[in-house]
Amino acid sequence: MFSPIAPSGLPPYNHSPSSSPSLPLHRRRLCRSTPVAAASLLHTPFPRLARESHLSLMTDITNLLPDSLNLPAHLSAHKYFFVCTLTVAAWDTLVLSPRAWRLMKSPEWPVLKILFHFMRTFMPVEFVIVAVAFFDTKFTLSLSPSQQCSHFFLFEPICTAILVSACSVVHVIRVHAIYGKSRQVLLGMSALLGFQIVCMAVACGFYRVMPLKDGQGCIAGPKANWVGIYWLAPTLLYTASFGLALNRSLKTLAVKPLSYWKLMLRDGLNLYGAIWIVNMTNMLFWFIAKPTDTRDTIKTIVTSMAAVLTTTMSLRIILSVRGSLASGGSFAGSSAGAASAGSRGGTTHVITTRHTAGAAPGVLNINSQLGGTTGQTYTIGEMASDKPRNDWDTDGKSSVNEGKEGLVPGDDDVNIVDTHGSQGGFGVKITIDRQVDRDLN
- Boundary residue ending a domain (332, 367, 386): 332
- Boundary residue ending a domain (307, 332, 357): 332
Question: If you count DSSP H runs as helices and E runs as strands, how many of each does the chain have, helices first?
Answer: 14, 6
Q: Are residues 116 and 253 in the same domain?
A: yes
Q: Is residue 428 part of a domain?
A: no
DSSP 74-89: HHHHHHHHHHHHHHHH
Distance CA(78)–CA(284), nearest Å, equals: 16
220-222 and 347-353 beta bridge pairing: unpaired
Nearest CA to 116 out of 93, 134, 149, 145 is that of 93
**What is the number of domains present in the chain?**
3
The per-residue pLDDT for range 86-109, each reduced to its tens digit, is: 999 999 999 999 999 999 998 889
Q: Identity (one letter) of the amino acid at 352? A: T
For 188-270, where are the E strands, in sequence order? 207-209, 220-222
Q: Are residues 156 and 179 in the same domain?
A: yes
Q: Are residues 230 and 349 in the same domain?
A: no
**What is the distance, to the nearest Å, from the Cα of residue 217 to the centroid of all Cα atoms in its chain?**
26
pLDDT value of position 364:
54
pLDDT value of position 405:
46
Q: Is residue 384 part of a domain?
A: yes
Nearest CA to 301 out of 89, 134, 179 is that of 134
pLDDT value of position 27:
52
Q: Are residues 156 and 22 in the same domain?
A: no
Q: Are residues 304 and 328 in the same domain?
A: yes
Q: Is residue 277 part of a domain?
A: yes
Distance CA(257)–CA(266), nearest Å, equals: 13
Residue 390, helix vs strand vs coil: coil
The per-residue pLDDT for range 11-63, each reduced to its tens digit, is: 554 545 445 555 555 555 545 555 544 445 445 554 554 555 555 555 566 66
Q: Are residues 241 and 140 in the same domain?
A: yes
Q: Are residues 213 and 79 in the same domain?
A: yes
Q: Are residues 83 and 100 in the same domain?
A: yes
Q: Is residue 229 part of a domain?
A: yes
Q: Cβ distance 339 to 414 under 8 Å? A: yes
pLDDT value of position 402:
46
Q: Are residues 195 and 152 in the same domain?
A: yes
Q: Is residue 162 part of a domain?
A: yes
pLDDT value of position 38:
47
Nearest CA to 85 out of 268, 312, 366 is that of 312
Q: Is residue 82 part of a domain?
A: yes
Q: Identity (one letter) of the amino acid at 312? A: T
Q: Are residues 36 and 98 in the same domain?
A: no
Sign of the torsion formed by the C-alpha atoms of 115, 116, 121 and 122: positive
Question: Domain of 209: which CATH number?
Answer: 1.20.1070.10
- According to DSSP, the residues that pair with 220 across neighbouring strands are 209
CB atoms within 10 A of CB 330: 17
Distance CA(66)–CA(64), nearest Å, equals: 7
Residues 6+ apart with CB under 8 A from 202: 229
> 386: left (phi > 0), else alpha (psi -120 to 50), else beta?
alpha
Distance CA(81)–CA(111), nearest Å, equals: 33
Q: Is residue 440 part of a domain?
A: no
pLDDT value of position 386:
47
- Boundary residue ending a domain (279, 312, 332): 332
Distance CA(210)–CA(98), nearest Å, equals: 40
pLDDT value of position 183:
93
pLDDT value of position 392:
47
Q: Is residue 207 part of a domain?
A: yes
Q: Are residues 185 and 309 in the same domain?
A: yes
Q: Are residues 344 and 219 in the same domain?
A: no
Q: For each of the chain's 441 residues, which pLDDT tens digit applies?
A: 444 554 554 455 454 544 555 555 555 554 555 554 444 544 555 455 455 555 555 556 666 676 667 777 888 888 888 999 999 999 999 999 999 999 999 888 999 999 999 999 999 999 999 998 888 777 654 444 446 778 888 999 999 999 999 999 999 999 999 998 899 999 999 999 999 999 999 999 999 888 877 778 788 889 999 999 999 999 999 999 999 999 999 998 888 888 899 999 989 999 999 999 999 999 999 999 888 888 788 888 999 999 999 999 999 999 998 878 888 878 876 654 444 444 444 444 444 444 445 445 555 555 544 444 445 555 554 444 444 444 444 555 555 554 444 433 444 444 444 444 444 455 555 655 555 455 544
Q: Which domain holds residue 415?
A: 336-419
Beta strands across the sheet bearing 374-379? 374-379, 363-368, 347-353, 417-419
Distance CA(270)–CA(261), nearest Å, equals: 10
Q: Cβ distance 404 to 340 under 8 Å? A: no
